[in-house]
Structure 1
Amino acid sequence: MQRQVHSRMPIRETVASLLEAKQISKSFGPNPALRDISFDVRPGEVHVLAGENGAGKSTLLDILSGIHTEFHGEIRVGGVVRRFRHPKDALRAGVAMVHQELSLIGSLSVSDNLFLGRERTGRFGLVDARRQTHEARALLRELDLDDVSEDELLERLPMSTQQLVEIARALAAKANVLLLDEPTSALREPEVLHLFDRIDALRRQGKGIVYVSHKMDEIYRLADRITVLRDGMLVGTKAASELPANELVRWMVGRELSSGKRANAVRRNVALKVEHLHIGGGGLPKADGRLAVDDVSFELRSGEILGLSGLRGSGASDILHAIFGDRSGRAAGIVCLPGRHDDKGEARIDLARDETSPAVAIRRGIMLLTNDRKGKGLVLDMDSNENASLASLPRYSSGGILRAGLETSAVTRAFLQLGLKGQIAAPVRLLSGGNQQKVVLAKCLLTEPQILLLDEPTRGVDVGAKTEIHALLAECAGRGMAIVLVTSELPELLRLADRILVLHRGRCTAEFTRSEATHEKIVHAAFGRGPLQGGPRCSTPGRRVVR
């Protein structure tokens, strides 16, 4: 995503703040999370809150939005001292929160979620369904979600669409201050750009926006001012124009970070072949009944990172789930594991006929990192140690009895490798989003997979941890692990992938090697226009090219 310059409402130092936090401190038991933090947001301003995972950003937002009610310090809204006892108090004061992790209810309709807790009522306090439907349609149109029905159950929609519904819910509150915690973590680039247009419109209306992001391009695209937290303490606040990216990184992590692309992969034997993959249903409520994935074929070699790219609904995530065996009944096609044998000879799995499940896939050496860490990747009531070892317990068991010492030793090594020192016994629900993501990645790696399927592996992860994870994935590939990567961050894709397949509406439109791939070529193909002139078309085995 290119950094762009936009005309903005000038932020005057003398303008009264819409929201002020003064000397905020918060501890969880004996552990301090925030220490003496002062922070404010002004009319027409996007104020970015930056820092590593665990720096205290989400805790500060939870205090400002009325989720955490026990803290030291003072909050002022419009110059008036407020003490929120519930998120509804914050909402009534004009402060609305969009969480990094969805706070919606999957079994309810889109319309019901948009007005959850703020139902439109008529006489006798009954819900005015007609008015609610009318307003829901208007909100969905505002975010270009015309293909989503307000009556659709939320759980049937892709994660990216659910995230946009969450944002629409905050917009429905018509708040003066919006707190956005990683709002683009599940969005593709066109959706991100559309959200940025909405943020620019809100800024012009004089709204104040607190924006948390780990993505440097987003920070410098949006920020008027940047405040950095580290280990629960305030590092500093500066105008974005006065804080170069390298200085921002030093403020966040206290050190310089390496950059650049990984070395070219050593070509090895084919580890995975996918032949004529079809997946029915799709996540989108389309009337045309199209397939989520339509006749996709490709090969993956040991030591290679293969990137899958596309817009919302392209089918990239569906492909990973089909290979992992959790699209049973919807998928057809062949997954071949050359060099692997079962009682029938070479492992050649017919997705429509043979047994498929995540448990079977793990036994075959295939592991998936899901893009829904709280819904599918973690058990929030268990601690970090138990979550990390959950998929690999047979490795630490003998005669059906768990060898706890062996388990703890393996998990400790994995956590140290991912920079999770001291987190092994912490309840996973208390960890920051980025550290939860590291626990999910540790769980994947502890299964010692030969094929690793990654769906948004650095979602919600700070810039320092992201660099460490990139280095770890490069190391895994260097040892011969075959990796399929789905990410909404094109810089990450371009940095890590040896080859990139681009998908549009379930079909492959282009294939690029690392040397051929560019931001412009990928976006062009993702819109279904095929490669730019002179670029290679999709040449995967048996693939029909969309022209």
Structure 2
Amino acid sequence: MPLLEMRAIHKSFPGAKVLKNVDFCLEKGEIHALLGENGAGKSTLMKILTGIYSKDSGEIHFDGSPLSVQGPREAEALGIVMIHQEFNLVPQLSIAENIFLGNEGPFTRWGTIRWSALVEASRRFLDQVGLSVAPTRTVDELSVGEKQLVEVAKALSKEAKLLIMDEPTAALTETEKAKLFSIMTALAAQGVSIIFISHRMEELFAICDRVTVLRDGAYIATRAIKETTIDELVSLMVGRQVEDRFPKVSVESGDMILEVEGLQNDRLKAVNLTVRAGEVVGIGGLMGAGRTEVARAIYGLDPAIGSLRLKTRSGGSYTGLFRHPAEAIAHGIAMVPEDRKDEGLVLGASVKDNMALPTLAKRARLGVIDGAEERSMVEGYIKTLRVKTAGMDQPVRNLSGGNQQKVVFGKCLETKPRLLILDEPTRGVDVGAKVEIYQLINQLAAGGIGILLISSDLPELMGMSDRIYVMYEGSITGHFTRETVTEEAFMRCATGGRP
């Protein structure tokens, strides 16, 4: 008997049918992938299962009984636990407090929490996910990858029968990913069922038993992993053939746009790099290697010392480090940040307001914004970037991850940059939207923009970069061209060796 059966599930929101007659079946001890483009209905289906949303119609049976839960706490009490794509952590609390938040009962005595016992118990789950960080550290001190591992540890503490993992590897290094897969395999062997949502196809074939594909809110197919291919799954997802996952177009590079020498701070050690017009320059390395720190220092977010020379939009040059992002933007640098929801978007604001925010002064006359000009600009980017939205006044929080990322691209492009820094630009983005982003990168490079591409996805780096810098503990340890890079050489440099 299956652990979970969802039959003919329907769900609508005002103006949109999100799920249409969806079926899903999960066996005990199975790792089952749920696949589909952003907006296909994956997260909505899982939110119905965990009680965040109520279904409009359909049947759900869990562990042999009809399932009807009114919220995540009821679901967790039955053994259904979800790790969301967006973190559910309280930044100001410690790691240990976050792991047991809402489940402090075993550590209380006479109304008082036994903190030493809670901290010690949290260490066991941190050890399970391979996170060597003091449980007393606050979450706001952690990197994105470390926060993801805390989410996994938090889920493991709840003794799940069914564990839902929504993009759990998006910010993990290869070592951390291997550790997570080992944990998943061990849990499945113990009878725990896992629903695994990921846009990284290689992961599905490495860890999953079966895969179910959704498209536009409808059930498309279920396949045994051993009986399918990446090409078939991509075709099922998008309803068409995607010929090339990394459609790189080589562009003859032009003048030097960026030269960085001796860039250093408390996380960086004398970093040197260059970017030419029309060139895509990758920065890779394991988590904590300093990739994002380089971008932040160039963009003026973090203080640093060293030399920076930039060819500006006017054709002149600028020498010196930027004190804050406004200076960097004014001189022709734009940045798509790693964490789009915390650093790239105002979630409660509209698509229009988000795209217009960095360049309001361009459309202001005597302190008054030209609304017609602003709407025309936003309409242009919605069309060019193919943003799927009900309209420019729709709150950006209601868009899928891929479309939110396109909004971030739009606001950056409106600044007319000479250098565009992309930090994990396809994190949490589906295959179809990834290809669109790659094609946009090609177009921007062909237009003479220099691009600094930071990614933890090695195939992406190798597939889309003209040159790649590899980092380890704040230093550049390797520098490859597209023709000379290999996975073996890259990993050797990423772990402290040399080419």
TM range (shorter): over 0.9
Is 1:142 equivalent to 2:128 in the alignment?
yes
Instruction: Give a deviation string over 1:353-412, Cα, whole Å, max 9, x none.
Output: xx6111111111101111111111111111112112211222332232111222122222
Cα distance, 1:125–1:201 mapped onto 2, change above 3 Å: same
The offset of 1:418, in angstroms, is 2.2
Task: Judge conservation of contact 1:437–1:459 (CA < 8 Å) in 2.
Answer: no
Aligned equivalent of 2:310: 337
Aligned equivalent of 1:246: 231
SS in 1 for 2:402: helix
The TM-score normalised by the length of structure 1 is: 0.88
Aligned equivalent of 1:482: 450
The TM-score normalised by the length of structure 2 is: 0.96
Instruction: Give a deviation string over 1:160-208, Cα, whole Å, max 9, x none.
Output: 1111111111111110101011111111222112211111111111111
Is 1:306 equivalent to 2:291 in the alignment?
no
Aligned equivalent of 1:495: 463
The one of 340, 362, 385 equivalent to 1:373 is 340
Aligned equivalent of 1:287: none
The one of 345, 348, 356 equivalent to 2:319 is 348
The one of 423, 445, 455 equivalent to 2:423 is 455
Distance, in Å, in 1 between the alignment partners of 2:224 and 2:55 is: 31
The offset of 1:340, in angstroms, is 6.8
Which letter maps to 1:347? Y
The offset of 1:339, in angstroms, is 5.8
Instruction: Give a deviation string over 1:287-333, Cα, whole Å, max 9, x none.
Output: xxxxx1111111111111110001111000000011111113xx221
Task: Judge conservation of contact 2:83–2:165 (CA < 8 Å) in 1.
Answer: yes
Distance, in Å, in 2 between the alignment partners of 1:318 and 1:428 is: 27
Distance, in Å, in 2 between the alignment partners of 1:207 and 1:430 is: 32
The one of 107, 121, 144 equivalent to 2:107 is 121
Aligned equivalent of 1:325: 300
Is 1:269 equivalent to 2:264 in the alignment?
no
Task: Judge conservation of contact 2:312–2:418 (CA < 8 Å) in 1.
Answer: no
The offset of 1:122, in angstroms, is 2.4
Which letter maps to 1:78? D
Task: Judge conservation of contact 1:341–1:347 (CA < 8 Å) in 2.
Answer: no
Which letter maps to 2:420? L
Task: Judge conservation of contact 2:51–2:71 (CA < 8 Å) in 1.
Answer: yes
Aligned equivalent of 1:525: 493
Which letter maps to 2:261? E
Aligned equivalent of 2:36: 51
SS in 1 for 2:110: helix
Instruction: Give a deviation string over 1:5-42, Cα, whole Å, max 9, x none.
Output: xxxxxxxxxxx122222221111113111111111211
The offset of 1:73, in angstroms, is 2.1
Task: Judge conservation of contact 2:282–2:469 (CA < 8 Å) in 1.
Answer: yes
The one of 318, 330, 334 equivalent to 1:363 is 330
Unaligned 5+ segments in structure 2 are: none
The offset of 1:75, in angstroms, is 2.1
Which letter maps to 1:503? M
The one of 109, 117, 126 equivalent to 1:131 is 117
Percent of aligned positions that are identical? 41
Which letter maps to 1:431? L
Instruction: Give a deviation string over 1:127-174, Cα, whole Å, max 9, x none.
Output: 22121111111111111112x111111111111111111111111111
Which letter maps to 2:399? L
Instruction: Give a deviation string over 1:522-541, Cα, whole Å, max 9, x none.
Output: 1111000111xxxxxxxxxx
Q: Which moved more, 1:427-436 or 1:231-240?
A: 427-436
The offset of 1:346, in angstroms, is 4.2
Aligned equivalent of 1:412: 379
The offset of 1:69, in angstroms, is 3.0
Is 1:223 equivalent to 2:190 in the alignment?
no
Alignment of 1:393-472 (within 5 A): 393-423=360-390, 424-472=392-440
Which letter maps to 1:509? T
Distance, in Å, in 1 between the alignment partners of 2:111 and 2:23 is: 41
Which letter maps to 1:107? Q
Task: Judge conservation of contact 1:308–1:503 (CA < 8 Å) in 2.
Answer: yes
Task: Judge conservation of contact 1:265–1:498 (CA < 8 Å) in 2.
Answer: no
Aligned equivalent of 1:383: 350
Alignment of 1:270-309 (within 5 A): 270-280=256-266, 292-309=267-284
Instruction: Give a deviation string over 1:253-295, Cα, whole Å, max 9, x none.
Output: 0111131552333121110111101121xxxxxxxxxxx1111
Distance, in Å, in 1 between the alignment partners of 2:340 and 2:191 is: 35
Aligned equivalent of 2:10: 25
Task: Judge conservation of contact 1:273–1:336 (CA < 8 Å) in 2.
Answer: yes
SS in 2 for 1:85: coil
Task: Judge conservation of contact 1:437–1:460 (CA < 8 Å) in 2.
Answer: no
Task: Judge conservation of contact 1:69–1:86 (CA < 8 Å) in 2.
Answer: no
Task: Judge conservation of contact 1:314–1:505 (CA < 8 Å) in 2.
Answer: yes
The one of 504, 510, 513 equivalent to 2:472 is 504
SS in 2 for 1:294: coil
Task: Judge conservation of contact 2:312–2:332 (CA < 8 Å) in 1.
Answer: no
Cα distance, 1:395–1:41 mapped onto 2, change above 3 Å: same
Distance, in Å, in 1 between the alignment partners of 2:419 and 2:433 is: 23
Task: Judge conservation of contact 1:77–1:93 (CA < 8 Å) in 2.
Answer: no
Which letter maps to 1:323? I
The one of 177, 182, 188 equivalent to 1:197 is 182
Instruction: Give a deviation string over 1:460-492, Cα, whole Å, max 9, x none.
Output: 111111111101101101111011011111111
The one of 157, 160, 184 equivalent to 2:145 is 160
Which letter maps to 1:102? F
Aligned equivalent of 1:207: 192
Distance, in Å, in 2 between the alignment partners of 1:152 and 1:98 is: 21
SS in 2 for 1:466: helix
Aligned equivalent of 1:538: none
The offset of 1:341, in angstroms, is 7.9
Distance, in Å, in 1 between the alignment partners of 2:360 and 2:490 is: 40
Task: Judge conservation of contact 2:247–2:438 (CA < 8 Å) in 1.
Answer: no
Distance, in Å, in 2 between the alignment partners of 1:89 and 1:301 is: 55
Distance, in Å, in 2 between the alignment partners of 1:35 and 1:21 is: 12
Aligned equivalent of 1:84: 69
Aligned equivalent of 2:156: 171
Which letter maps to 1:212? I
SS in 2 for 1:293: coil
Task: Judge conservation of contact 2:388–2:403 (CA < 8 Å) in 1.
Answer: no
Distance, in Å, in 1 between the alignment partners of 2:348 and 2:389 is: 19
Aligned equivalent of 1:534: none
Task: Judge conservation of contact 1:258–1:467 (CA < 8 Å) in 2.
Answer: no
Q: Which moved more, 1:133-142 or 1:332-341?
A: 332-341
